[in-house]
Structure 1
Amino acid sequence: MSVRTKRIFSFTAIVLGFFMALLDTTIINVALPEMTKHFGGTVSQISWVMNGYNLAFAALILTASRLADQFGRRRLFLIGIFVFTAASLFAGFSSSLEMLIVLRVIQGLAGAIIVPVTIPLTTTTFPKEMHGLIIGIWGAVGGLAAASGPALGGILTEKLNWEWIFWVNVPLGILSIILVLSFIKESRDSSAGRTLDFAGMAGISVGMFLITYALIKVQDYGWQSGAFYGLLTSGVFVLLFFFVTQWKGKEPMMPLSLFRIRPFNGAALTLLIVGAGLMNLSLRTSFFLTRIMGMTELKAGLVLSVIALGSILSSGVSGPLSSKYGSRWFAAAGVTVMAGATYALSGLQGEASLSQVLITLGIAGLGMGLVMAPVMSSAIRNVPEEKVGISSGITNMTKALGSVLGIAIIVTVLQQNFNDRIGAAAEHAAQSIRENAVLQPIVKQRLGEELGAMVKAGSVAAPNRAAGGEISQRLNNDLEKAVLALPEEERSAFKADQQRQLSEIQVLMKQAEGGLRDASVEAFSRTYAFASILLLPGIVFALFSDQRRKRSVLNEEPLGNEL
């Protein structure tokens, strides 16, 4: 078998594992309602099917990178794939919500082993001159996995059932294991000792756990709560302890010399911002498509997959070119495009055309592809070759932390915008009901109650456009019952006025629905605009994500420890 064929099989084994681990960060979202029906429980409880994975992933990723560098990347990769595949199989057979959450945590731990090891396995499989192209493909696969998750999850849930979003991993995992055993050789960091840095591993894992948990729970605790600040402060102190152990330790798990490499710092910070931006984009837009534009979850997932298409196109180009011309301008342009596309989404209305949405999301995907592959390539190119594994762990950890931080911030901002805008629209509708000269007092009271229920249902999403007709029917039934309770002399008068009452109810409810819908659109618009501003620091960080290239050395590899 030729060297080229062996490399293709090796890379296929790597990207299969990488694709599985990243896919499971987003494929679960669409199936959460079905899981709620199957297991019962509250929204808060079912959300831990997603949060458990993210929490375990963020907490273990750096420790897993270090262990792989010390004891063999191929060995750890195989362990990660095996555990992930087994957990996926059993997750589909879960008999309770608690069992499913535990298995999702195990999946997250396995994913933390898989993802950071893929880069060093890739770079040791291919020669340096091919790293740009291969990292570009790697970035495209990552974008495809993250962005296609909602679409694939929707298809599997609708056509089969929710269990298949886990079982789909089983054949992929088995194939990856076979290919790894057949074609990938062992590699490790020759400068890393075999002594385990228990203090460092405990410090980074506990610190990341506390910080990530605080950000996940901030919606329950509140940004000003003592519980939130207690968790966050504890996490920061534990991380400070971690850095002290790395500074004084004889064989630290994370060499602090990496942070003297300016391009590495720029790449890590860029991925922090982009991780937040990508998760925000998919999360907000999913809600907008389903709740404002009225799409099904499946259709919304298919629409969101255009982000992956844009990412694939630009990653395949930017990856190899960034190795020749440098990553900084590609990355800066990519973040700028993502920020511009996010701001453009603030102009969407409930009646926006599908083509307008697809074009905007496609442009956002192009921006993402311009960032991911060049920045990851730069993070590897600008560090010593033996430190590729731990640098991959750090950059993937910052990206994961960015995703959790971004969700925490943007959900808070979106909720606040909903409270402000919908609150004002609801008060205007309530005033119209109170001042109405046609409705009788009993009707005003019931209509006010229905309006309150509508606002409560619309506090995190736009109200259902069919709600007005349902409310009118319920009020009509109430009026029929009210007529029977009236004295005989009043019954005929009330009956005669009933049709006029119903007509007035329909007018007022149509006005209320329109006002609440417009308020919801404005809340999304303000949140998109805010999110675009949050991406702007990423442009600055991207400019520091690679060495400055001089014309005479365009085709030379930069030194790994230059500042």
Structure 2
Amino acid sequence: MSIRMRRALSFTAIVLGFFMALLDTTIINIALPEMTRHFGGSVSRISWVMNGYNLAFAIFILTASRLADQFGRKKVFIFGVALFTLTSLLAGFATSLGVLILLRVIQGLAGAIIVPVTIPLTTTTFPKEMHGLIIGIWGAVSGIAAASGPALGGILTQKLSWEWIFFVNVPLGVLSIVLTAVFIEESRDNTAGRTIDYGGTLAITGAMFFITYALIKVQDYGWSSSVILGLLGAGLVFLLLFIFTQWRGKEPMLPLSLMRIRTFNGASLTLLIVGAALMNLSLLTSFFLTRMMGMTELKAGLVLSMIAVGSIVSSAISGPLSAKYGSHLFAASGIVVTGGAMYSLSGLHADSALAEVVVRLLVAGVGVGLTMAPVMSSAVRNVPDDKVGISSGVTNMAKALGSVIGVAIIVTVLQHNTNSELGKAGISATKVIQTNTELQPFVKNVLTEAVASIGKQGNAAMDSSDGEADTASAVVHAVELAAAKLPLAEQKAFAADSANQFHEVKLLLSQAGGGMQQAAVKGFSRTFAFAGLLMIPGILFALLSDKRRKPEEPLVLAEPAVLER
């Protein structure tokens, strides 16, 4: 077999495992309502099917990178893929929600094993002159996995059942294991001893657990609550303990010399921003398409896949070019493009054309591709050869943490903006009702309470014509009940004018619903604008993520003795 074919099969094995692990961070979201109907339980509990995976993924990724460097990346990768495949199979047959959540936590641990090992396996399989191209493809696959999750999840759930979201991993996992066992050579960090850094492992696990858990639960308790502040405080203590153990340890899991490489720090912080941006883009747009524009989950997922299309093209181009000219300008441009596209989404309305959404998401995907592949490539190029594995763990951990931080911040901002705008719309609608000269006083009171209720629901009752009709019927029924409690004379007066009263009720309710919808759209618009502006610090981080090189300048990996400060 030719070396080209062997490399192609090796890369296929890596990509299959990598794709599965990243896909499962987003594919599950679209099926949560169906799982709720199947298992029952609260929305808060079913959300742990997603949160359990993300939490386990975040807390174990750095430890997995270190163990792979110590005991063999191929061996650890096969173990991770096998565990992921087995838990996927069992998850499809789960008989209770508790069992499914447990399996998802184990699956998250397996994903944390798989993802960081893919970069060092790739760089040891291909020669250095091909690293830019290969990592560009790696970045494109990353974008596809993240952005295609909602679409693929919607298709599988609608055409088959939610169980197939897990079953689809089984043949991919088996094929990845076989190809890895046959075609990939073992590699490890030869400078790493075989002693496990138990102190560092415990400290970083505790830090990531408390910080990630706090960010997941912040919507339940609020940023200023003692619970969240306590969790964040505990995370900070464990993080300081981790730094101390790495500073004083003889064989630390994270060599602090990496933290003295300016370009590595820049790359890690850039990926933190990109992780937050990707999650914010997917989450906000998904809610906007389904709630404001009335799309089905499947259609919204397919529209969101445009992010992946844009990312594929730009990743394939920017990866190899950044290897020649440096990653910093590509990455900074990508941040600007993604942030600009995110900001431009603030111009959408409930009746915007589909093309307006698609173009914006395509541009956002181009920006992600311009950033992701070059920055990952830079993180590999600018560290010593034997530290590629642990550096991949740090950068992937930064991206995962960015995703969790992004959700925590953007959901808080969306709730604030939406509640603020709905509150204004509710006050305006109430004034219109109270100044109406046709309605009888008790009808005004019933209608005012109904409008207040709509505002509290975040316009959920007015999302469709059916919802509006149901709300109108409920208000009419409430008016009839209130009328039945009036004195006999007032009941007769209302009965004589009931047709006009109900006509006014429906008219004003329709106006209030329209105002609420516009208010909700404005809340989304302000949040999209905020998310775009939130990416501005990423421009500076991206500019620090690599050094400028001339095309003819050879790629030289940094040595410990000449680490940049």
Question: 2:556: which partner in 1?
Answer: 557
Instruction: Confirm or deny that 1:136 pairs with 2:133.
Output: no
Question: 1:112: which partner in 2?
Answer: 112
Q: Is the 8 A contact 1:462 1:520 kept in 2?
A: no
Aligned residues: 562
Provide Cα deviations, 1:509-562, integer angstroms capped at 9, x if missing partner. Answer: 1110111111111111111111111101101000010123246x5344353544
In 2, the alpha carbon distance for the partners of 1:87 and 1:483 equals 59
In 2, the alpha carbon distance for the partners of 1:433 and 1:288 equals 29
Question: 1:288: which partner in 2?
Answer: 288
Instruction: Confirm or deny that 1:194 pairs with 2:204.
Output: no
Question: 1:355: which partner in 2?
Answer: 355
Question: 2:398: which partner in 1?
Answer: 398
Q: Quote how far apart the aligned CAs of 1:506 are.
A: 1.6
Question: 2:468: which partner in 1?
Answer: 468
In 1, the alpha carbon distance for the partners of 2:396 and 2:490 equals 73
Please list, as runs of the form range in 1=range in 2, the aligned pairs for 1:263-282 lying within 5 A after superposition: 263-282=263-282
Q: Is the 8 A contact 1:419 1:459 kept in 2?
A: no
Q: Is the 8 A contact 2:385 2:557 kept in 1?
A: no
Q: Is the 8 A contact 2:324 2:550 kept in 1?
A: no
Letter in 2 for 1:531: A
Q: Quote how far apart the aligned CAs of 1:387 are.
A: 0.5
Letter in 1 for 2:541: F
- Structure 1 residues 128 and 473 mapped into 2: Cα distance closer, same or farther (>3 Å)? same
Question: 2:337: which partner in 1?
Answer: 337
Q: Is the 8 A contact 2:446 2:479 kept in 1?
A: no
Q: Quote how far apart the aligned CAs of 1:178 are.
A: 1.1
Please list, as runs of the form range in 1=range in 2, the aligned pairs for 1:167-186 lying within 5 A after superposition: 167-186=167-186
In 1, the alpha carbon distance for the partners of 2:189 and 2:5 equals 26
Question: 1:18: which partner in 2?
Answer: 18
Q: Quote how far apart the aligned CAs of 1:452 are.
A: 2.6
Q: Is the 8 A contact 1:463 1:516 kept in 2?
A: no
Q: Is the 8 A contact 1:547 1:558 kept in 2?
A: no
Q: Is the 8 A contact 1:468 1:506 kept in 2?
A: no
Question: 2:213: which partner in 1?
Answer: 213
Which shows bigger deviation, 94-103 or 290-299? Answer: 94-103
Instruction: Confirm or deny that 1:64 pairs with 2:64.
Output: yes
Letter in 1 for 2:323: S
Q: Is the 8 A contact 2:384 2:557 kept in 1?
A: no
- Structure 1 residues 426 and 465 mapped into 2: Cα distance closer, same or farther (>3 Å)? farther
In 2, the alpha carbon distance for the partners of 1:556 and 1:380 equals 11
Percent identity of paired positions between Structure 1 and Structure 2 = 64
Q: Quote how far apart the aligned CAs of 1:497 are.
A: 1.1
Question: 2:161: which partner in 1?
Answer: 161
Question: Secondary structure of 2:158's match?
Answer: helix
Q: Quote how far apart the aligned CAs of 1:184 are.
A: 1.0
Q: Is the 8 A contact 1:472 1:502 kept in 2?
A: no
Letter in 2 for 1:559: A
Q: Is the 8 A contact 2:294 2:463 kept in 1?
A: no
In 1, the alpha carbon distance for the partners of 2:462 and 2:490 equals 40
Instruction: Confirm or deny that 1:304 pairs with 2:304.
Output: yes
Question: 2:502: which partner in 1?
Answer: 502
Q: Quote how far apart the aligned CAs of 1:226 are.
A: 1.1
- Structure 1 residues 89 and 476 mapped into 2: Cα distance closer, same or farther (>3 Å)? same
Q: Is the 8 A contact 1:327 1:378 kept in 2?
A: yes
In 2, the alpha carbon distance for the partners of 1:479 and 1:259 equals 67
- Structure 1 residues 485 and 328 mapped into 2: Cα distance closer, same or farther (>3 Å)? closer
Which shows bigger deviation, 470-479 or 411-420? Answer: 470-479
In 1, the alpha carbon distance for the partners of 2:323 and 2:471 equals 61
Question: 1:524: which partner in 2?
Answer: 524
In 1, the alpha carbon distance for the partners of 2:494 and 2:109 equals 67
In 2, the alpha carbon distance for the partners of 1:122 and 1:475 equals 63
Q: Is the 8 A contact 1:313 1:366 kept in 2?
A: yes
Question: Secondary structure of 1:94's match?
Answer: coil
Q: Quote how far apart the aligned CAs of 1:462 are.
A: 7.2
Question: 2:441: which partner in 1?
Answer: 441
Provide Cα deviations, 1:139-171, integer angstroms capped at 9, x if missing partner. Answer: 100100000000001111111111111111111
- Structure 1 residues 63 and 289 mapped into 2: Cα distance closer, same or farther (>3 Å)? same
Question: Secondary structure of 2:193's match?
Answer: coil
Provide Cα deviations, 1:65-84, integer angstroms capped at 9, x if missing partner. Answer: 00000001011101110111
Provide Cα deviations, 1:383-424, integer angstroms capped at 9, x if missing partner. Answer: 000100000000000000011011111111110001111011
Question: 2:367: which partner in 1?
Answer: 367
Question: Secondary structure of 1:25's match?
Answer: coil
Q: Quote how far apart the aligned CAs of 1:37 are.
A: 1.1
Q: Quote how far apart the aligned CAs of 1:453 are.
A: 2.5
Flag structure 2 segments of 5+ consecutive residues without an equivalent. none
Letter in 2 for 1:272: L
- Structure 1 residues 480 and 231 mapped into 2: Cα distance closer, same or farther (>3 Å)? closer
Question: Secondary structure of 2:534's match?
Answer: helix
Question: 1:255: which partner in 2?
Answer: 255
TM-score (norm 2): 0.96
Q: Is the 8 A contact 1:94 1:100 kept in 2?
A: yes
Provide Cα deviations, 1:120-156, integer angstroms capped at 9, x if missing partner. Answer: 0011111111111110111100100000000001111
Q: Quote how far apart the aligned CAs of 1:488 are.
A: 7.0
Q: Quote how far apart the aligned CAs of 1:93 are.
A: 1.3
- Structure 1 residues 398 and 478 mapped into 2: Cα distance closer, same or farther (>3 Å)? closer
- Structure 1 residues 442 and 460 mapped into 2: Cα distance closer, same or farther (>3 Å)? closer
Q: Is the 8 A contact 1:267 1:379 kept in 2?
A: yes
Q: Quote how far apart the aligned CAs of 1:451 are.
A: 1.8
In 2, the alpha carbon distance for the partners of 1:187 and 1:239 equals 30
Question: 2:147: which partner in 1?
Answer: 147
Question: 2:382: which partner in 1?
Answer: 382
Letter in 1 for 2:380: I
Please list, as runs of the form range in 1=range in 2, the aligned pairs for 1:530-545 lying within 5 A after superposition: 530-545=530-545
Which shows bigger deviation, 176-185 or 283-292? Answer: 176-185
Provide Cα deviations, 1:191-232, integer angstroms capped at 9, x if missing partner. Answer: 100011100111111111111111111111111111111110
In 2, the alpha carbon distance for the partners of 1:63 and 1:513 equals 52
Question: Secondary structure of 1:346's match?
Answer: helix
- Structure 1 residues 134 and 460 mapped into 2: Cα distance closer, same or farther (>3 Å)? farther
- Structure 1 residues 484 and 546 mapped into 2: Cα distance closer, same or farther (>3 Å)? closer
In 2, the alpha carbon distance for the partners of 1:459 and 1:76 equals 49
Question: 1:79: which partner in 2?
Answer: 79
Question: Secondary structure of 1:295's match?
Answer: coil
Question: Secondary structure of 1:224's match?
Answer: coil
In 2, the alpha carbon distance for the partners of 1:69 and 1:333 equals 33
Q: Quote how far apart the aligned CAs of 1:483 are.
A: 6.4
Question: Secondary structure of 1:519's match?
Answer: helix
In 2, the alpha carbon distance for the partners of 1:478 and 1:411 equals 34
Question: Secondary structure of 1:276's match?
Answer: helix
Q: Is the 8 A contact 1:133 1:316 kept in 2?
A: yes
Question: 1:45: which partner in 2?
Answer: 45
Letter in 2 for 1:307: I
- Structure 1 residues 87 and 292 mapped into 2: Cα distance closer, same or farther (>3 Å)? same
In 2, the alpha carbon distance for the partners of 1:96 and 1:356 equals 42
- Structure 1 residues 144 and 451 mapped into 2: Cα distance closer, same or farther (>3 Å)? same
- Structure 1 residues 490 and 62 mapped into 2: Cα distance closer, same or farther (>3 Å)? closer
Question: Secondary structure of 2:189's match?
Answer: coil
Letter in 2 for 1:122: T
- Structure 1 residues 491 and 421 mapped into 2: Cα distance closer, same or farther (>3 Å)? closer
In 2, the alpha carbon distance for the partners of 1:545 and 1:485 equals 72
Q: Quote how far apart the aligned CAs of 1:465 are.
A: 4.9
Q: Quote how far apart the aligned CAs of 1:498 are.
A: 1.3
